[in-house]
Structure 1
Amino acid sequence: MEHITLLIGIVIVTALVFDFTNGFHDTANAMATTISTGALRPKTAVAMSAGLNLVGAFLSVEVAKTISGGIIDESSGIRPEVIFAGLVGAIIWNLLTWLAGLPSSSSHALFGGLIGATLVSVGTHGVHGQAVVMKVLIPAVAAPFVAGLASMAATRLTYRLARTRAEADTAKGYRAGQIASAALVSLAHGTNDAQKTMGVITLALITGGVVAPHSDPPMWVIASAGLAIALGTYLGGWRIIRTMGKGITDIQPPQGFAAQTGAAATILASSHLGFALSTTQVCSGAVMGSGLGRKGGVVRWSTARRMVVAWGLTLPAAGLVSAGAAFLADQGTWGVTAVAVLALAIGGGIWAASRRKPVDHTNVNDGPAAEPAGVITTALQTVAPPPAGPVASAATAPASAEAVVAPTHPDPVAAPTHPDPAQSPARPAAATS
Structure 2
Amino acid sequence: MSPETILIILALVISFYMAWNIGANDVANAMGTSVGSGALTLKWAIIVAALMEFAGAFLVGSHVTNTVRKGIIEPVVFTGHPNSYIYGMMAALLAAGAWLNIASFRGWPVSTTHSIVGSVLGFGIVFSGFSSIHWDTVSQIAASWVVSPLLSGTISFLIFCLLRKMIFYSKTPVKSAQKMTPFLVFFVLGILTLVMVFKGLKNLHMDLSLYDALILASLIGSIGALVSIPLVNRINSTSTEENHDDHIDPKVEKSMLKVVMHLRRVKESTTGELSDEVTKILDSSEKISNQLEKYTHIKHVSTDYLTVEKIFVYLQILSACFVAFAHGANDVANAIGPLAGILSAVSSGVIEMKAQVPLFVLLLGGLGIVIGLATWGWRVIETIGKCITELTPTRGFAAEFGAAITIVLASKLALPVSTTHTLVGAVLGVGLARGLNSLNLSTIRDILISWVITIPAGAGITIVFYYIIRYAFTGQFA
Q: Calculate the TM-score normalised by the size of structure 2.
A: 0.64
Picking from 133, 138, 143, the partner of 2:139 is: 133
AA at the equivalent of 2:314: A
Corresponding residue of 1:162 = 167
The one-character-per-residue Cα deviations of 1:56-110 (angstroms, maximum 9, x if unpaired) are 2243649943844722321212511111111222122112122222222222222
Alignment partner, residue 242 of structure 1: 382
Kept in 2: contact 1:120–1:327 (CA 8 A): no
Could you tell me how far 1:285 is from its partner in structure 2? 0.7
Q: Which moved more, 1:193-202 or 1:45-54?
A: 193-202
What is aligned with 2:147?
Answer: 142
- 1:113, distance to aligned residue in structure 2 (A): 1.4
CA distance in 1, matches of 2:344, 2:137: 19
Greater mean alpha carbon deviation, residues 293-302 or residues 96-105: 293-302
Q: How does 1:50-89 map to 2 (within 5 A)?
A: 50-57=50-57, 58-59=59-60, 61=62, 64-65=65-66, 67-68=68-69, 70-77=71-78, 79-89=85-95
Q: Residues 33-432 of structure 1 correspond to what in structure 2 (within 5 A)?
A: 33-57=33-57, 58-59=59-60, 61=62, 64-65=65-66, 67-68=68-69, 70-77=71-78, 79-134=85-140, 136-163=141-168, 164=170, 165=173, 166-208=304-346, 210=348, 212-267=352-407, 277-294=417-434, 298-333=438-473
Q: Which moved more, 1:232-241 or 1:61-70?
A: 61-70
- CA separation of 1:15/1:269 partners in 2, compared to 1, >3 Å: closer, same or farther? farther
Moved more, 77-86 or 125-134: 125-134
2:64–2:357 contact (8 Å) kept in structure 1: no
Once the 2 structures are TM-superposed, how far is the Cα of residue 224 of structure 1 from its aligned partner? 2.4
CA 1:282/1:133 → structure 2, altered by over 3 Å: closer, same or farther?
A: same
Indicate the SS of the match to 2:77.
coil
Larger Rg: 2
In structure 1, list runs of 5 or more residues that go unmatched: 339-433
Structure 2: distance between partners of 1:66 and 1:213: 6
Using structure 1 for the length normalisation, give the TM-score: 0.70
1:271–1:220 CA distance, 2 compared to 1 (3 A): farther
**Do 1:79 and 1:208's aligned partners in 2 also have CA atoms closer than 8 Å?**
no
Alpha-carbon distance, 1:127 to partner = 3.1
Q: Deviations over 1:251-282 (max 9, x none)?
A: 12211001111223334665788888532212
Q: Residue type matched to 1:41 in 2?
A: T
3-state DSSP class of the match of 2:439? strand
Q: Tell me the distance in 2 between the aligned counterparts of 1:316 and 1:69.
A: 16
Runs of 4+ aligned structure 1 residues displaced above 6 Å come to 271-276
For residues 204 and 323 of structure 1, the distance between their equivalents in structure 2, rounded to whole angstroms, comes to 18
The residue type paired with residue 390 of structure 2 is D
Structure number with higher relative contact order (C-alpha < 8 Å, ≥ 6 residues apart): 2
CA 1:151 to 1:71, structure 2 compared with 1: closer, same or farther past 3 Å?
A: same
User: Aligned residue for 1:23?
Assistant: 23
Could you tell me how far 1:18 is from its partner in structure 2? Answer: 0.6
Match of 1:411 in 2: none
Match of 2:372, SS state, is helix
Identity of aligned residues (%): 31
**Corresponding letter in the other structure for 1:72:** I
Unmatched runs of 5 consecutive residues or more in structure 2:
79-83, 174-303
Q: How much has 1:124 moved relative to structure 2?
A: 2.9
* Cα pair 2:122 2:459 within 8 Å, conserved: yes
